[in-house]
Copies of this chain bind each other. A is one copy, B any other.
Amino acid sequence: MKKRALLYFLIFTFSVFTNAQKSNISWIDARKLCVEGMGWSEGIEDFTRLPGKYKSIVRDEIWDLSRNSTGITIHFKVSGTKRIKAKWTLRMNRKDRPMHHMTEIGISGLDLYVKKNDKWVWMAVGKPTSPYKKQAFSLISNLNASESYELMLYLPLYNGVSKMMIGVDKGASLIVPPASKKKPLVFYGTSIVQGCSASRPGMVFTSMLSREFDIPVINFGFSANGRIEEYFADVMGDIEAKAYFIDCLPNMKSFEENDVKERTLILVRKLKSLQPKTPIILVENAPRWSYFYYDVNQKIFISLRKGLKGAYNELKKEFSDIQYIEGNQLFANSESTVDGVHPTDLGMYYYYETLKRITENLLQRQHYKP
């Protein structure tokens, strides 16, 4: 992964008049701040998840979904301001993105966190209110201007951002922190990984893990299109990661047990050939409670698990650092989802709790490695 090293502790002080004289707000282009979660810094369009070199390789659906900004964050420090405002231009009109099981904040909005006593704490959301592309919202207006704040802004989960401006009081200082030197956790998966149906962009389980361990995350969740495809070994392998999570089963309904097994074997072996020292975690499908009433789907559901487990049983003989997460651990009860598939913040929290335990082990193990 190429580092964004240019903007190292760059300090902007807004003491001169800018193009926003009337409102006494200074606007800065978020690209000048510390952008994380993109995986690449060159050959990639602003706030998207795959660089141009993969456009002809991935399916069109994957490419289109990679324009969604899920998991991408803007990291900055600010002092001398009471206000933080945002103007962002979406890649799709909001009215063209109807999702009845998500909030508009989750689909097209922003989510702001602050570091307090070394821990990320929620601060404010950016509500998208225009039905079209251009959005503007005052995130917070009651900061203590004599204090400084370290902030992280999450971008939309199911829409993309072509332009992102952050506004602060004129005279305020913005500091650009260096990009994290930690290797990221990389997740490849489904709509659940992409963040459906978190209420805010920061509530995807991948983002919760990122905050808990203060580690970058690259989110390759592609709604309905995470299908254990071979070329994803190249995509993931392009990023030096702390661990790779493969969490695609909910998108594999049209596949047989053996397809899942074969695809997993191909993907993992190829990824291991590219990044032999990086642990890989295979994640089973979470329970679909409504399936208890439907034998046929229940059978498909179980056969997918058998396929993944079959691959795991072979892979663990070849590699020492392949792990497996049982799906039933992911959702604690039938209240975990909004529609039987997509976790709400409650389900995301359960999901996170399970992945937190395995991540804790992974990070400690790596930490104590000589």
Contact = CB atoms under 8 A, between A and B. Distances in A.
A122 interface: yes
Interface in A285-343: 289-290, 292-297, 334-335, 337-340
A269 to B, nearest CB: 37
A122 B334 contact: yes
Nearest to A121: B334
Nearest to A123: B290
A199 B339 CA distance: 9
B101 A199 contact: yes
A104 interface: yes
Interface residues of A, number: 46
Contacts of A123: 289-290, 293
Determine which residue in A199, A337, A344 has the highest number of CB atoms from chain B within 10 A of its CB, and name it.
A199
Contacts of A292: 116
A293 B140 contact: yes
Contact of A293 (B109, B142, B337): B142
Nearest to A129: B100
Nearest to A112: B290
A338 B293 contact: no
A347 B346 CA distance: 8
Interface in A83-130: 100-105, 109, 114, 116, 121-125, 127-129
A345 interface: yes
Contact of A103 (B103, B114, B116, B143): B103
A244 interface: no
A127 B101 contact: yes
A334 B125 CA distance: 13
Given A121-B289, A199-B344, A294-B142, A104 B100 contact: yes
B122 A335 contact: yes
Contact of A125 (B122, B127, B208, B339): B339
Contact of A199 (B125, B197, B295, B296): B197
A290 B140 contact: yes
Contacts of A334: 121-122
B199 A293 contact: no
A199 B338 contact: yes
A366 interface: no
A335 B144 contact: no
A197 B100 CA distance: 14
A49 interface: no
Given A105-B100, A197-B103, A344 B124 contact: no
A124 B340 contact: yes
A349 interface: yes
A349 B346 CA distance: 8
B103 A335 contact: no
30 contacts: A100-B103, A100-B104, A100-B127, A101-B104, A101-B105, A101-B125, A102-B103, A103-B103, A103-B338, A116-B292, A121-B334, A122-B289, A122-B334, A122-B337, A123-B290, A123-B293, A124-B290, A124-B340, A127-B339, A140-B290, A142-B294, A142-B297, A144-B295, A197-B199, A199-B344, A203-B344, A335-B349, A344-B344, A344-B346, A346-B346
Closest 5 CB pairs of A and B: A142-B294, A345-B346, A344-B345, A100-B104, A122-B334
